[in-house]
Structure 1
Amino acid sequence: MIDDLNSHASVYFNNFSPYSESQLQTSETGSRLRRNRIEHKRKIWNHRRRRKECPTARKGQHMMLCPSRNQRNYDICISAEQLCDNVENCPEGEDEDLKSCMFYKATKHQLKHIYNALLLLTETTVGDSERKEL
């Protein structure tokens, strides 16, 4: 009985509708397209362009870009001091990855030795040339 009422109601209202059946289908498709367009605009609005690099901090510190973004889709930049300091500063904790930190700390240690060796070498070279000039 309910099915009969539904079919009679649809026939009754469709007969008095100012639109034909094809126009109704087209309007449904149009509304679906409008909905998709609105959703697409939201996706574009929520999408943020990825930074190429971080700006320099006020103190002149070099900042590094975290591989992941935060919940609001913003890029996060951290300083060199925040890298491998046992505090997760990047949204997914990439700055505290054990393998990366081991490589980073070893490289940093080796670079300090190279830097000190170069300083000693330049000091002795410059010191010898100054003595020769006198």
Structure 2
Amino acid sequence: MSQYKTKHINDFTKKELQELGSKGQLIDVRQPEEFELGHIKNALLHSVENIETFKQSKNKTYYIYCKSGNRSRKASQFLAQRGYDVVNLDGGYTAYEQQHHNDNLSKVKEDREIKDNRKMFNYSNL
């Protein structure tokens, strides 16, 4: 039985995930309606239910993700058994979204602090 690698999705920065196309291909194995609600940039959709129809080059690495890691684990095992170089991205889109959401919250907090500091500084005394 062929093995596949597992890495946590948060082991990659957002930029690194989006640029995986130069090293391989991101594959989202969720349902089309989940994909439409949000996905990692440059990911291709290939639902786990149709994974047996996956016919891509075996000369690249495929980074597989789903919502949390369960479906991607099944898809990764299936593809690895067929000779594909596969990395299962554990944590899935949920972990990716949480990390990205926290990045946005930090930026919003920073912007709010800048605005608050400007309010405290009285420009009329200049």
TM-score by length of 1: 0.34
Higher-Rg member (1/2): 1
Larger proportion of strand? 2
Select the structure with the greater relative contact order (CA < 8 A; seq sep ≥ 6). 2
TM-score by length of 2: 0.36
Larger proportion of helix? 1
